[in-house]
Structure 1
């Protein structure tokens, strides 16, 4: 982003998203569709992270939470509306209509960005010498992410191959770290790799992303297997959480500032832990109402965590580095989504084969709750150490 400037990257990403969405609608075969969607994923990555940095650039530290909250609400609107609109379009005219809808929406976004001259508030590096991209670092990062995603999704085909894929991902990360510490213009700069704040935020983002994605993957299977609900009923139930997030994002964002963000990150994690506990315990006792209660309770905690965690990172880096930091947070979230959909989904499926869906659901979310508890304790301990250090310096 620093090479071309945020405005140009954002506009280019929207244009690429528009073109690839149209190509998806026109594609003649599944193989071509997968390839085009892979390219569209690169554009989607930029669209996911750049607005986060833009909010912090345009608003003061005290008001940034008020911007990050609605940003989370907008994301929730898309999460809730996407499956509903897609289902209506697929039933009415077929799956290609979904891609035409995406192309039209992104085209309107392109026009809006042109009218606002980019819209991120980022500066374009006009007149500056362009930096050469870190090709080696980018390649190694891609190898690590693809190997990890393949291992989680079961692409290895056997436990031995899965271990090999995880070993490849680990080796790629080790080599990447060594290269990045010596590269003149690294993809992951030293200030990013060496920041305990960023490392902690990235780790938490992976955990939370996995938790949220697991609800979207495990929930429908469980509701169908355990309660015999129809796809329509499942869709309506699954939309309740994102709809709650719409309201929660606006409300919780108002409390997030540069000073309160670290503490609210812990509160958001704890809130999510309570919600997951309600899922694990309430669903077996109350059935569908228990499931709804857990997912609806989970939404405000997630929105609070996201706004506070993003704020903590963006406040810890200079303005010209916020795009890179936001990009790393986006990568961490996507890794969490892969982990939640593949790894936790696989755990649920294996337990289901041995017992039943209800037991598998309770065991899976009991384990998730334990992971969140560890995250809360670790985050709270880090916050306590930071405040003690600050107090000592002030004295």
Structure 2
């Protein structure tokens, strides 16, 4: 192991730690996606309009976005493991409050609390993975986190769909409580690792490292925006332009998460073997190519073209994520790892919001109306094409940012 990993757990203890951190990341991702499928049920249960129950999802995402940097800073200040344990306690309690909420406003408040807990889980899991892994294996553990995150996002709607008919909407939140408690027990049993020693020198170097991460954060934001665009635009295109049923749309939309689950760990191994710059560049190239394919292929060969394009975009995303997270965390001082992990999550979340809002507006402009249900298949197809031409252009900008940053790094003495 490298020098600042001297206090990291080894062998069997390391494997248990990695499993615990992966489970924590899974919980945060499950919390993100499990409530979406319950929105119609919640609207009926609380006799509320759809716009009101959407706040159940928005409150979680907003709290998650706001709290990630705070969670990272607290982890650096008070210890990564203690703050992860605190986050798991908060997540478990908030999940219980969600399951017991007697009204929609209280459910929304509990979801905000749950999102705050998830910020600790997702941010500190990444930082603790860096503490656990040697430099030679950092890529593969970052790839594992990408796999687990994709798995949680994909499993959320499936698990929710199974639980709602049996246990109602409360069941989708109640099931998270024992999972959080199990992870809490495992986290308490984790080795503490070596505490970060903060000094003026390390603080100064930490600030310099964070400043150097600006290109990583900007590109992370752009990539997240493009990936969210696939989730926002895809259902409208598949359902209206191609005329697929809701079940067929769900099956086609599941292709991306399925590829993510398969490609996450191999992506991390490639980062360890080839280095983050090369693998990240390949990932961005695939993202750019896949975005342009989404603009062209589906309009030529229908759903087959959509699936083929997503089969290019998704591995590109996993390659980029593993490479970017590895590059960002590789040389960070121990007392800044939580902060950097928080910034990575913050840039990703801002990108997701931008993908849903800004790229959604581009799609509406291309369609000619935001009343998509009344739009013609031809108009939806035109909106799809414009949106992913813009997405491809954004990926070319991202490639330029990475190349410029790499050139500057090579020019430094």
Which TM-score band applies after superposition, normalised by the shorter structure?
A: 0.7 to 0.9
> Could you tell me how far apart the structure 1 residues matched to 2:355 and 2:262 are?
25
The answer as to 2:195 corresponding to 1:123 is yes
Alpha-carbon distance in structure 2 between the residues aligned to 1:196 and 1:266: 21
In structure 2, what is the Cα distance between the partners aligned to 1:194 and 1:86?
Answer: 41
CA 1:252–1:362 in 2, change beyond 3 Å: closer, same or farther? same
The 5 Å alignment of 1:8-27 reads 8-27=82-101
Kindly provide the CA deviation profile for residues 361-382 of structure 1, in whole angstroms up to 9, marking residues without a partner as x. 0100110101111211231232
Note the C-alpha offset of 1:350: 3.4
Distance of 2:322 and 2:342 partners within structure 1: 15
Return the offset for 1:243.
Answer: 1.1
Does the alignment pair 1:377 with 2:392? Answer: no
Using structure 2 for the length normalisation, give the TM-score. 0.74
- Say yes or no: does 1:337 pair with 2:411: no
Structure 1 portions without partners, runs of 5+: 129-183
| 1:1-395 alignment runs, 5 A limit | 1-116=75-190, 121=193, 123=195, 191-192=206-207, 195-257=210-272, 260-354=275-369, 356-387=379-410, 389=411, 393=413
Q: Compute the RMSD of aligned alpha carbons.
A: 2.4
Q: Secondary structure at the match of 2:271?
A: coil
2:135 match: secondary structure: coil
More displaced, 35-44 or 357-366? Answer: 35-44
Inter-partner Cα distance in structure 2 for 1:195 and 1:109: 30
Q: Which residue of 1 aligns with 2:29?
A: none
SS at match of 1:63: helix
Contact 2:206 2:333 in 1 (8 A): no
Determine if contact 2:284/2:395 at 8 Å carries over to the other structure: yes
Structure 2 gap segments, 5+ residues each: 1-74, 370-377
Provide the rounded CA distance (Å) in 2 between the counterparts of 1:16 and 1:86.
22
Measure, in 1, the Cα distance between the counterparts of 2:85 and 2:276: 30
CA distance in 2: counterparts of 1:226 and 1:93, whole angstroms: 36
CA distance in 2 between partners of 1:78 and 1:98 (Å): 13
TM (normalized to structure 1)?
Answer: 0.77
For residues 254 and 332 of structure 1, the distance between their equivalents in structure 2, rounded to whole angstroms, comes to: 24
Tell me how far 1:71 sits from its aligned partner: 1.4
Work out whether residues 290 and 309 of structure 2, in 8 Å CA contact, stay in contact via their aligned partners in 1. yes
